Homo-oligomer: A and B are copies of this chain.
Amino acid sequence: MHLLLVEDDKLVAEGLCRSLRQQGYSVEHCASIKSAMQWLENDEIELLVLDLGLPDGDGIDVLKHVKKHRPNLPVVILTARGSIDDKVQGLDLGADDYLAKPFDPAELFARLRVASRRVTHAQSSTINVANVEMDTSAFTVTLDQEPVNLPRKEFMLLKALFENQGRVLSKQQLESKLYEWGEEVGSNTIEVHIHHLRKKLPKDLIKTLRGIGYVVGKR
């Protein structure tokens, strides 16, 4: 899941970037309205975390712009201002959520999961396919109730497939979910990860559609 973090405080930004990545997001970061606008040209940004206290203008303008051009993009706003009027304004402009600083990262993550659920149409944080259950917020997978240990990339890959149960995802699509912008994958990484997943899970869980991609479930 591609996320854009707009936050000018270097320290905060750095910490958030790291922990967001640990949560499985591909994080792009910028610190000004200007560059935020540029990033948002990129259609693959799927989630926006926006600090309102920016140096070169009011973050609300970014929000307006987003809602005009990408009305379905989920937005979570961070702000030092705590007044309710601000909250109401942000929400009515189309923000999906609003967090006043200081906040606990765990709460931000939970709210991001809510926001991204909308994009992926998943309802809760667990997804079952056959006898495999994935908890996307706890980062765990079980096979017949037995825990299965999956490294991060394998987990993300499986998650992408689970969230699109019954839909075929091409290798390209999968790559774009696992890697950030500019990162090039010059090889058969996906194939290798799939192979590792198949060794740990029922062999027919992930089906290959030659020339098209991979699917899970519903067939």
* Interface residue A37 (Cβ < 8 Å from any Cβ of B): no
By a CB distance below 8 angstroms, the chain B residues around A104 are 84
Q: Is the CB of A211 within 8 A of B152?
A: yes
Partner-contacting stretch, out of A27-35, A53-61, A111-119, A190-198: A111-119
Least CB distance from A1 to B in Å reads 16
By a CB distance below 8 angstroms, the chain B residues around A72 are 123
Q: How far is the CA of A87 from the CA of B107 in the complex (A)?
A: 7
- Given A166-B138, A168-B138, A212-B139, do A91 and B118 touch, yes or no (CB 8 Å)? no
Least CB distance from A94 to B in Å reads 5
Q: Is the CB of B168 within 8 A of A139?
A: yes
Q: How far is the CA of A125 from the CA of B168 in the complex (A)?
A: 13
- Given A139-B213, A152-B212, do A95 and B107 touch, yes or no (CB 8 Å)? no
* Interface residue A167 (Cβ < 8 Å from any Cβ of B): yes
Q: Is the CB of A151 within 8 A of B211?
A: yes
Q: Is the CB of A71 within 8 A of B137?
A: no
By a CB distance below 8 angstroms, the chain B residues around A210 are 151-152
Q: Is the CB of A111 within 8 A of B140?
A: no
Q: Is the CB of A120 within 8 A of B122?
A: no
Q: Mark A76-112, 1 if CB is under 8 A from B, else 0.
A: 0000000011011001111111000000101101110
Q: Is the CB of A96 within 8 A of B114?
A: yes
* Interface residue A203 (Cβ < 8 Å from any Cβ of B): no
The 7 closest A-B pairs by CB, nearest first: A152-B211, A91-B110, A88-B110, A71-B123, A84-B104, A139-B168, A92-B125
Give chain A's interface residues, CB within 8 Å of chain B.
67, 71-72, 84-85, 87-88, 91-97, 104, 106-107, 109-111, 113-114, 117-118, 120-125, 137-140, 147, 149, 151-153, 155, 166-168, 209-213, 219
* Between-chain CB contacts (< 8 Å), 23 pairs: A67-B123, A67-B124, A71-B124, A85-B106, A87-B107, A91-B107, A91-B113, A91-B114, A92-B124, A93-B124, A94-B124, A95-B114, A97-B114, A118-B118, A120-B121, A138-B166, A138-B168, A139-B212, A140-B166, A149-B209, A152-B211, A152-B212, A153-B211
